[in-house]
């Protein structure tokens, strides 16, 4: 199963040589004037340049328009989450964002005209107009941008699923004449979306796993993390909403088989294409996220924001759609990609999606990944990074203990500065020493296998898809509890989480870990953040 890393056929291209406004929450530490593709890797020698890409290959590309008045937006968002502020928990509307902080229509029109003049096709514009997708043959792309795309291959296995063709330039691109200065990045290129298929997954052969003890079932997870006690009070997510970022679609028959096997009936799960048409190809990471989210928050309204592949540019685009449509209270992103292998343009686009979500009062959560390193989008200070633990099951079949997972994504960002609300002493506590943003923030089980139905078969899987799905379902139920009490939904978690000792106490602290590169101890540590979910305490905490 691909859980957390879906980089296939994606171009991870260096930033355009445009200047980027530096803001405290997200500072690019790589110089855009000198950052060529190999310089974006921790080990440049791990790539083979196989030469120029075939001129007739059709590729998709994504550009990003910057937010207007971004520093002012950050100030406004911080006020939304500062106790005592006159705007505390008074979230923006999409109209308010568009009018003051969204890209100008004139800039979008300029880019659209430039693409047409240079023989490139405008494919789509994301909600809130921050991302622009276009396509064309490589020969046209090279001419329009004034570079030559090369095809890079990893020499050997790398600490992420960065396999296959990686399209990039050998020199830093220069912004072509005629494009607006608000254009802050070229995220990259990927091959055209795969053809749609109506192929159905195999029929489920067994109603339940033959050996249930081989992996965790929803009831065990629900009992341990507090879902069962909340369900006994009638709190299953009713009236709350959860969005899932999806690479490919999920197996309808698989999900229904999973829920039937554990006698769970989710009230509402809706597929929503992010590209304007239905997506039929299936993805196992998406299927797992849908199955477990529906099992743990069956009363919630769940929307699955699908896109036809799991390349970096596609999952970032789907994240922008899940947030920008402002249809849900919580967004869960199970797709993570190694930050040190990516352009700062990708980090910037992820950060903007998180900032937009915080402004609109949407909780954005991302799995920290399975590579023992720092992954996007969780490296954004506006997104809550959910790390992984490993739980132990006692002779009665109950989860009895928990510790840090050996493969959990954690560490210090090389592209995002440490935000003001994250104390400087975290570096010494975690064993890291840097001015970068530290992850993860919180955690849940990822190291002990959980059951899923994939392709008609019961399959045990590990990875941060499980941990972010657990946490997202928990926040969704907490929102139900808050609304019933006359309180606003939680929105962005990070600032209040790091400032309030009462909130920190709502998470189950782990003081040991299997990770050799991430020490664990009392309080926050890189391995598990502030600890794992205790839903009853989190839902009742004074945020």
**Segment 455-475 mean pLDDT:** 97
pLDDT by residue (tens digit) across 262-277?
999 999 999 999 998 8
- Using CA atoms, how far residue 396 sits from 158, 267, 393, 400, in Å, is 40, 31, 8, 10
Q: Does residue 127 register a pLDDT over 70?
A: yes
Q: What's 212-251 look like in SS3?
A: HHHCECHHHHHHHHCHHHHHCCCCCCCCCEEEEEEEEECC
Q: What is the pLDDT of residue 46?
A: 62
Q: CA-to-CA distance for 435 and 424, rounded, in angstroms?
A: 8
Strand partners of residue 190: 10, 60
pLDDT by residue (tens digit) across 407-463?
999 888 988 999 999 987 665 444 455 788 999 999 999 999 999 999 999 999 999
* Cis, peptide link before residue 440, omega less than 30° from 0: yes
Q: Which of 233, 151, 164, 249 is nearest to 198 (CA)?
A: 249
What confidence tier does 129 reach under pLDDT thresholds 50, 70, 90?
very high
Q: What is the pLDDT of residue 164?
A: 60
Residues of the chain within CATH 3.40.50.200 domain(s) are 216-540
The number of helix segments (H) and strand segments (E) in the chain equals: 15, 23
Q: What is the phi-psi region of residue 329: left when phi exceeds 0, alpha when psi lies from -120 to 50, beta otherwise?
A: alpha
- Report yes or no: 131 and 188 within 8 Å, Cβ to Cβ: no
**Segment 349-367 mean pLDDT:** 97
What is the DSSP-derived secondary structure letter of residue 145?
Answer: H
Chain position carrying tokens 């083979």: 48
Q: Does residue 9 register a pLDDT over 50?
A: no
What confidence tier does 33 reach under pLDDT thresholds 50, 70, 90?
very low
Q: What is the pLDDT of residue 11?
A: 29
Chain position carrying tokens 């980027």: 20
Which residues, including other chains, have CB under 8 Å from residue 319's CB and lie 6 or more apart? 245, 331, 333, 350, 353, 364, 377
Q: Does residue 100 register a pLDDT over 50?
A: yes
Q: Which of 285, 297, 249, 288 is nearest to 270 (CA)?
A: 249
What is the pLDDT of the chain when averaged over all its residues? 86
Residue 57: other Cβ atoms inside 10 A: 17
Q: CA-to-CA distance for 260 and 371, rounded, in angstroms?
A: 33
Least confident of 11-20, 61-70, 343-352, 467-476: 11-20
Burial of 84 (0-12, 13-18, 19+ CB in 10 A): exposed
Q: Does residue 474 register a pLDDT over 80?
A: yes
Q: Does residue 174 register a pLDDT over 50?
A: yes
Q: What percent of the chain has pLDDT over 90?
A: 66
Least confident of 5-14, 55-64, 78-87: 5-14
- Report yes or no: 463 and 454 within 8 Å, Cβ to Cβ: no
Strands 330-333, 268-273: pairing is unpaired
Q: What's 380-447 look like in SS3?
A: CCCCEEEEEEEEEECCCCCEEEEEECCCCCCEEEEEEECCCCCCCCHHHHHCCCCCEEEECCEEEECC
Q: CA-to-CA distance for 182 and 20, rounded, in angstroms?
A: 9
Q: What is the pLDDT of residue 448?
A: 97
Least confident of 179-188, 207-216, 487-496, 529-538: 179-188
Q: What is the phi-psi region of residue 275: left when phi exceeds 0, alpha when psi lies from -120 to 50, beta otherwise?
A: alpha
Q: Which of 302, 240, 236, 293 is nearest to 479 (CA)?
A: 240
Least confident of 58-72, 111-125, 419-433, 442-456: 419-433
- Report yes or no: 497 and 504 within 8 Å, Cβ to Cβ: yes
CATH of 216-540 among 3.30.1360.20, 3.30.360.10, 3.40.50.1000, 3.40.50.200? 3.40.50.200
Q: What is the pLDDT of residue 120?
A: 98
* Cis, peptide link before residue 377, omega less than 30° from 0: yes
Stated pTM of the model? 0.91
Vertex 283: Cα angle to 280 and 289 (nearest 5): 115
Q: CA-to-CA distance for 300 and 309, rounded, in angstroms?
A: 26
Question: Could you please report the per-residue DSSP string of 306-343?
Answer: EES---HHHHHHHHHHHHHT---SEEEE---EEGGGS-
- Report yes or no: 127 and 118 within 8 Å, Cβ to Cβ: no
């Amino acid at each position: 199963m691909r859980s957390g890393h879906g980089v296939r056929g994606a171009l991870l291209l260096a930033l355009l040589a445009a200047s980027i406004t530096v803001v405290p929450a997200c500072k690019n530490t790589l110089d855009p004037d000198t950052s060529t593709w190999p310089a974006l890797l921790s080990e440049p020698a791990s790539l083979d340049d196989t030469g120029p890409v075939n001129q007739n290959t059709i590729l998709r590309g994504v550009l990003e328009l910057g937010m207007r008045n971004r520093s002012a937006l950050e100030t406004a968002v911080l006020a939304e989450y500062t106790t005592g502020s006159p705007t505390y928990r008074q979230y923006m509307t999409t109209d308010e964002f568009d009018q003051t902080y969204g890209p100008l229509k004139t800039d979008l029109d300029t880019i659209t005209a430039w693409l047409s003049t240079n023989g490139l096709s405008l494919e789509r514009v994301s909600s809130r107009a921050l991302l622009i997708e276009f396509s064309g043959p490589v020969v046209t792309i090279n001419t329009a941008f004034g570079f030559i795309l090369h095809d890079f291959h990893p020499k050997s296995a790398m600490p992420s699923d960065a396999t296959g063709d990686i399209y990039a330039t050998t020199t830093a691109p220069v912004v072509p004449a005629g494009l607006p200065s608000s254009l802050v990045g070229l995220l990259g290129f990927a091959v055209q979306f795969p053809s749609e298929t109506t192929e159905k997954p195999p029929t489920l052969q067994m109603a339940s796993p033959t050996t249930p003890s081989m992996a965790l079932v929803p009831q065990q997870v629900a009992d341990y993390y507090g879902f069962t006690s909340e369900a006994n009070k009638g709190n299953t997510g009713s009236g709350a909403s959860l969005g899932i970022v999806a690479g490919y679609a999920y197996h309808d028959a698989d999900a229904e088989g999973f829920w039937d096997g554990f006698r769970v009936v989710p009230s509402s799960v809706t597929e929503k294409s992010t590209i304007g048409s239905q997506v039929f190809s299936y993805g196992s990471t998406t299927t797992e996220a849908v199955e477990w989210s529906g099992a743990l928050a069956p009363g919630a309204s769940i929307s699955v924001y699908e896109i036809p592949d799991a390349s970096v540019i596609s999952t970032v685009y789907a994240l922008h759609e899940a947030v920008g449509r402002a249809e849900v209270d919580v967004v869960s992103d199970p797709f993570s990609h190694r930050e040190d292998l990516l352009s700062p343009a990708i980090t910037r686009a992820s950060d903007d999606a998180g900032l937009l979500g915080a402004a609109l009062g949407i909780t954005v959560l991302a799995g920290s990944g399975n590579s023992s390193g720092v992954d996007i989008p969780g490296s954004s200070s506006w997104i809550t990074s959910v790390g992984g633990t490993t739980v132990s099951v006692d002779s009665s079949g109950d989860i009895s203990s928990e510790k840090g997972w050996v493969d959990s994504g954690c560490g210090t960002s090389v592209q995002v500065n440490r935000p003001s609300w994250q104390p400087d002493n975290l570096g010494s506590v975690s064993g890291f020493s840097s001015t970068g943003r530290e992850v993860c923030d919180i955690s849940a089980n990822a190291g002990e296998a959980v059951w899923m139905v994939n392709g008609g078969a019961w399959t045990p899987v590990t990875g941060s898809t499980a941990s972010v799905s657990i946490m997202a379902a928990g926040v969704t139920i907490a929102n139900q509890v808050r609304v019933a009490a006359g309180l606003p939904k939680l929105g962005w978690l990070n600032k209040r989480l790091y400032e309030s000792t009462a909130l920190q106490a709502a998470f189950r602290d782990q003081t040991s870990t299997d990770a050799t590169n991430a020490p664990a101890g009392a309080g926050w540590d890189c391995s598990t953040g502030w600890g794992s979910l205790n839903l009853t305490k989190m839902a009742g905490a004074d945020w």
